[in-house]
Amino acid sequence: MKILERKLEEDGSGFVRLICETQDDMWQMLNIVRKGDRVEAWTSRKIKKGVSHEMVANLKRKKQQCVRLPCELEIVVTDVGFDPLFKGIRFEGFTATTTKFVDEGWGHTLEIGLNQPFKLTKRRWLPIDAQRIESSLEVCTEDSMAAIVLHEGVAQIYIVERNITFTKATINMQVARKRSGFGSGHEKSVQEFLETAAKSFMRHIKVDDVKAVIVAGRGFIHNNFRKTLFNVADQMDQPYSNAQKEKFVLVNVSNGYKHSINEILKNPDTAAALAHTAAKEEVKALDKFMGMVMDDPSRAFYGYKHVAMANEHVAIDTLLISDALIRSDNVHERKKYMAFVDDVKLNNGKVLVFSSLHPSGKQLNMMTGIAAILRYPLVELEDEDMDDDEWKSNNLKLELASDDIYHEDELICPRKFYSKVAEKECSFYQCNFVNSPESATEIAKYFDEKSYDKPAKKVERDPDTEEPAPRPHMTLADCIIKKH
């Protein structure tokens, strides 16, 4: 990510003009941009002939009723969409100002691609937003790897980046069964499948652009694929060099489907290739948490109630939280988790934000989206019941806020801003704490407690109405992937 221009005011508002260079930068924008923010970029829009007659005349398109003209528009964002295959991000909203082409309040969608500059304006910048931008600036090279997971007749090609795992191609072919006296037919069918998968791999993956290539499968199919791939490359006059061949790593997995990516990241053979990526650290932390749930349950808890009680004892060593909670459209929900993250950091705890687009993040979402590894055991927490709403496993579908997007006292800053960018250029975050509080409990007093404890509106039910039967709850054992 590149910062072209930045201007931040003392009241916390300001804008940043930047360029996203990688898919991870796009994913960061998905978490940074929220409803109510303003995005300005060059786009194209169909303009009626009467709106700009001179522009239409210059383009010699007088006979047409509408023309598509390039223009620079600023919109107020109402929805953000991200598609890894599109390699871009879409901002839906309505125009913020009146121009010679459009009036204020017209609907428009901006599509921002890689290496396309745009301007992001916020009424109030969050500390975690500046921290995300800083982390993107620190990434100099693409920390991504390619992976192909094989099963007889099924091959899936993935790109595993720091925060995202997406499918590049899927190959499905019918393979002849093994039958007595007809073994050659099965072998020929498997070989045709491997050659097709190899050609598809060469079309979608450039080995020079990735850090490693993981070839995973059951039995010996991944070994046969690597040999077939090198042979096909030689036949097509596109041979792999020795340096490129060294990037290939063979890994055994239980099956050939997407959730095998977690097995790949846990494999020690991939540790060297992925030592510096965020995905490896997140998967390692989640694997450690799952192991402690089985072996040392008094030091591993999930669900907001249990994790918050552990934080009151200053016992959290590592906090695992999903980005779906942090980017919630609900202002009060977002403030609650943002304050919680800051509180854990003040207590010298480590915070790992999991991407919902990564298999590890999806697995964490099935466990309410928040979990913690403790410094010391808290046996008394095991007797506490979890809240009913925390048992729901719905992949954290976010509810839209019913109130205004920006609350009048939203996101009051804590005394410490966890970002080097903030220390140098975001001076407005230096709040007027004359007597700087020393504990996280005192810092929490500077937040509006009413907004966190806002009671939910009770819905009056008709006494004659029959309530539906409760749905079965998902247990922690259902979330753990077992090898077969």
CATH number of the domain residue 77 falls in: 2.30.30.870
**Which distant-in-sequence residues (6+ apart) come within 8 Å of 383 by Cβ?**
none
Say whether both 271 and 285 belong to one domain: no
Say whether both 153 and 25 belong to one domain: no
177 in a structural domain: yes
Q: What is the mean pLDDT of residues 234-259?
A: 86
Say whether both 229 and 248 belong to one domain: yes
> Would you say residue 464 has pLDDT above 70?
no
Say whether both 248 and 339 belong to one domain: no
Domain termination site, one of 220, 245, 275:
275
Reported as a pLDDT band with limits 50, 70 and 90, residue 12 is: confident
421 in a structural domain: no
> Would you say residue 174 has pLDDT above 80?
yes
Q: Residue 456: give its domain's CATH number.
A: 3.30.1330.30
Say whether both 271 and 156 belong to one domain: yes
Determine the Cα–Cα distance for residues 369 and 347; give it in Å rounded to an integer. 21
Domain termination site, one of 240, 275, 310:
275
Buried b (16+ CB within 10 A) or exposed e, 316-349: bbbbbbbbbbbbbeebbbbbbbbbbbbbbbbbeb
What is the per-residue pLDDT across 73-107, written as a single tens digit (0 to 9) for each?
999 999 888 776 667 888 999 998 888 778 888 88
Question: Which pLDDT score is estimated for 151?
Answer: 86
| Number of domain units in the chain | 3
Q: What is the pTM of this model?
A: 0.47
- Residue-number span of the structural domain to which 85 is assigned: 2-123
Q: Residue 161: give its domain's CATH number.
A: 3.30.420.60
Q: Which two tokens stand for residue 345?
A: 């950091």
Q: Taking a C-beta distance cutoff of 8 angstroms, is the pair 310, 377 a contact?
A: no
> Would you say residue 435 has pLDDT above 80?
no
255 in a structural domain: yes
> Would you say residue 385 has pLDDT above 80?
no
Question: Which pLDDT score is estimated for 66?
Answer: 74
What is the per-residue pLDDT across 452-463, written as a single tens digit (0 to 9) for each?
344 445 445 555
Determine the Cα–Cα distance for residues 263 and 253; give it in Å rounded to an integer. 6
* 369: DSSP letter: T
Question: Which pLDDT score is estimated for 271?
Answer: 61
Cα–Cα separations (whole angstroms), residue 244 to 194, 209, 232: 20, 10, 15
Reported as a pLDDT band with limits 50, 70 and 90, residue 476 is: low
> Would you say residue 443 has pLDDT above 70?
no
139 in a structural domain: no
